Amino acid sequence: MGDPSSQPVFVLVRPQMGENIGAAARAMWNFGLDAMSITAPRDGWPNPKAVAMASGAGRLLDNARLHDDVAGAVAGCSYVFATTARGRDLTKPVFSPEAAMARAAGMIAAGEKVAVLFGPERTGLENDDVARANAIVSVPVNPDFASLNLAQCVLLMAYEWRRQAVEVTHETVPLGKGDWASRIEVDKLAEHYEDRLGQAGFFFPPEKAEGMKLNLRNLWSRMRLTRADVQMLHGVMRQMVRWKERG
């Protein structure tokens, strides 16, 4: 299990369905979180339905801390976030999930203990629960359908935590066994096509030829080609020429 002091504690407040507790455990462990607390679960604890749903994340449930109320769950925390989709008549900072987890990461790095509260499925957090929090996390959901499933909300917050805790590669293109084509290889491919297309009379009428060649060169430069791509495209043109010559 991970070090509880290096991550926020996710507190499930009065969860109702064991299946949702198990799904929340899976969501947490998907993103490397394993510090779970549970307050007053409706169907008691332990819950076999939670274990069944948790699958490979069952160890989170084995190590989950059980509390009678929110006060006990957050007693050792210096900062508490409350997740809610509803407006509140309470004066508190309101964070997006991303900003909340960025703040949490900074606090935890400084040695503080942070908790995130998640409300029960039917009603969400009550005002008494939110009153114990330092700040609110508001998810920008559809206002006509604002209720998030418990595990979905946990997944969203766990994902945002993961983005803050580890370096995320936002885009990558696996090359397999190939390499990217060099500029000179792409230039040679462009020349091959330009020569053959010129012989075929493609650049017509003459006054538009330079513009057409420029557009074609621009097309090649926009494409990210591998060496295998370049070889294949050379082969395509060679085969077309052979086919024409045979005809």
- Answer yes or no: is pLDDT of 17 > 60: yes
Q: Where in the chain is the domain with CATH 3.40.1280.10?
A: 4-165
The tens digit of pLDDT for each residue in 117-166 reads 999 988 889 999 999 999 999 988 888 887 789 999 999 999 999 998 87
pLDDT, averaged across the chain = 90
How distant is the alpha carbon of residue 43 from its chain centre?
32
Which amino acid, 146? A
Q: Answer left, alpha or beta for residue 124, where phi above 0 means left and psi between -120 and 50 means alpha.
A: left
Has domain 4-165 been given CATH number 3.40.1280.10? yes
- The amino acid at 244: K
Cα 136 to its chain centre, rounded Å, is: 21
Higher pLDDT, 217 or 177: 217
Q: Give the residue-averaged pLDDT of 8-17.
A: 96
Name the token pair of 7. Answer: 């991550």
Sign of the dihedral through C-alpha 82, 87, 91, 92: positive
Structure tokens at 32: 């490397």
Give me the helix-helix angle, 18-30 and 150-165, nearest 10°: 20
Over residues 51-62, the pLDDT tens digits come to 999 988 999 999
Taking only the tens place, the pLDDT of each residue in 68-108 is 999 999 999 999 999 987 666 788 899 999 999 999 999 99
Strand, coil or helix: 236:
helix
CB 114 within 8 A of CB 78: yes
What pLDDT does residue 2 have? 53
Residue 107 vs residues 27, 34, 51, 114: alpha-carbon distances, Å: 23, 18, 32, 7
- pLDDT, one tens digit per residue, over 220-238 is 988 889 999 999 999 999 9
